[in-house]
């Protein structure tokens, strides 16, 4: 959803399937997705803020969600 809002903000016209594919591909760290982010295309047309969001998705996908949530809690940093 965040990726759709960010790309719509700059007027980048991309289909919902392509946005979902980009999100899943970055969360799973699998590389290409479908359509606009397929094997014959890339992520270069996305705005910088969307690329930063996808970097966050890749980070969460690589570390898994639970360790990332633990890193964001106060209790972890107090000990």
Q: How far is CA 61 from CA 6, 29, 40, 42, 65, in A?
A: 20, 7, 23, 19, 7
| Spatial distance between the Cα atoms of 42 and 32, rounded to a whole number of angstroms | 7
What pLDDT shows up at residue 2? 85
Q: How many distinct structural domains can be found in the chain?
A: 1
Polymer length of the chain? 79
Q: Which bin fits 29, alpha (ψ -120 to 50), beta or left (φ > 0)? A: left
| Spatial distance between the Cα atoms of 12 and 77, rounded to a whole number of angstroms | 39
The single residue listed with the structure tokens 């997705």 is 33
Q: What percent of the chain has pLDDT over 90?
A: 6
pTM over 0.95: no
What pLDDT shows up at residue 60? 85
The tens digit of pLDDT for each residue in 17-74 reads 888 999 889 988 888 888 888 888 888 888 899 899 999 888 888 888 888 888 889 9
What pLDDT shows up at residue 3? 87
Q: Which domain holds residue 33?
A: 2-78
């Amino acid at each position: 959803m965040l990726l759709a809002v960010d790309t719509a903000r700059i007027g980048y016209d991309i289909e919902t399937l392509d946005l979902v594919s980009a999100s899943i591909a970055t969360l799973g760290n699998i590389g290409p997705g479908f359509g606009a982010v397929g094997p014959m295309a890339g992520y270069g047309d996305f705005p910088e803020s969307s690329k930063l969001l996808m970097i966050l998705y890749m980070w969460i996908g690589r570390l898994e969600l639970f360790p990332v949530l633990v890193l964001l809690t106060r209790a972890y940093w107090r000990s």
